[in-house]
Chain A
């Protein structure tokens, strides 16, 4: 087992674990840290699957995109709560 295979296996297992924790979490905003773990694992495995210079850009684009999505969801959810209260 090369280091690359071991690292990819670890990333894949942690991604599935994070997805299950997202599914089981009752509080909406506390789902987002688990989603963050999932995007770390997916961004790492993008770079591990294909060692090509463009996959650095792909991993960074996926990670920044998912961070922006979490940021927007959290801000809109919090703003909605403030307007309701």
Chain B
């Protein structure tokens, strides 16, 4: 058995990898451009009213109201943890169905689940455990949605400005 510190250090590395995966895919599929449904737009305006930035608020509202790349990363990590690559692909299929239920086109969630399946499988070949990626994804979503809405929405709006050029 390893000692406690390397386990938590590996969880932090996994959190950084998951953070990059879902932020890059969400930015690529233009989630901060606007609210996908009425509820996402309302959450964005409320976050802006609380001192945040509007495009970051739209992206956080979209994450709340439809399974996007972050949900795909989490469920694909669960699938790879339980059943390897077939489990990850089953999780991808379930994310696609969930997107359809929530009236979303679902490309961001499906793409995020597929890339996360292969990323987590690759890291499991070099000594990481997929369970650490589940905890890492929970930490990654905590940094976006759970610490300070004002600062995280400003960070997301800055990244969106960079992506727009």
- Chains A and B directly touch (beta carbon < 8 Å): yes
- Complexed CA–CA distance, A51 and B40 (Å): 34
- Contact flag A44-B137 (CB < 8 Å), given A27-B50, A56-B94, A64-B101: yes
Is A10 in contact with B138, judged by CB distance below 8 angstroms? Answer: yes
Bitwise interface map of A from 1 to 22 toward B, beta carbon under 8 Å scored 1, else 0 = 1111011101100100110010
Whether the Cβ atoms of B46 and A63 lie closer than 8 Å is no
- Counting contact residues on chain A (CB < 8 A from B), the size range is 35 or more
A52 within 8 A of B: yes
- A4 to B129: give the CA distance in the assembly, Å: 8
Q: Is the interface of B mostly helix, strand, loop or mixed?
A: helix
Closest chain A CB from B40 CB (angstroms): 7
Nearest CB in chain A to that of B2: its residue: A1
By DSSP majority rule, is chain A's interface helix, strand, loop, or mixed?
helix
> When chains A and B are docked, how far (Å) is the Cα of A31 from the Cα of B138?
17
In the complex with contacts A44-B138, A47-B82, A56-B87, A32-B43 CB distance below 8 A = yes
A interface with B by C-beta (< 8 Å) = 1-4, 6-8, 10-11, 14, 17-18, 21, 27, 29-30, 32-37, 40-41, 43-44, 47-48, 51-53, 55-57, 59-60, 63-64, 67-68, 70-75, 77-79, 81
Task: List residues of B whose CB falls within 8 A of some A CB.
Answer: 1-2, 4, 7-8, 10-11, 37-43, 46-47, 50, 60-61, 63-67, 70-71, 74-75, 77-79, 81-83, 87, 90-91, 94-95, 97-98, 101-102, 129, 131-132, 134-135, 137-139, 141-142, 145-146, 149
16 contacts between A and B (CB under 8 A): A2-B1, A7-B134, A33-B145, A34-B146, A37-B142, A44-B134, A53-B83, A59-B78, A63-B71, A63-B74, A67-B67, A68-B101, A74-B40, A74-B64, A75-B37, A77-B39
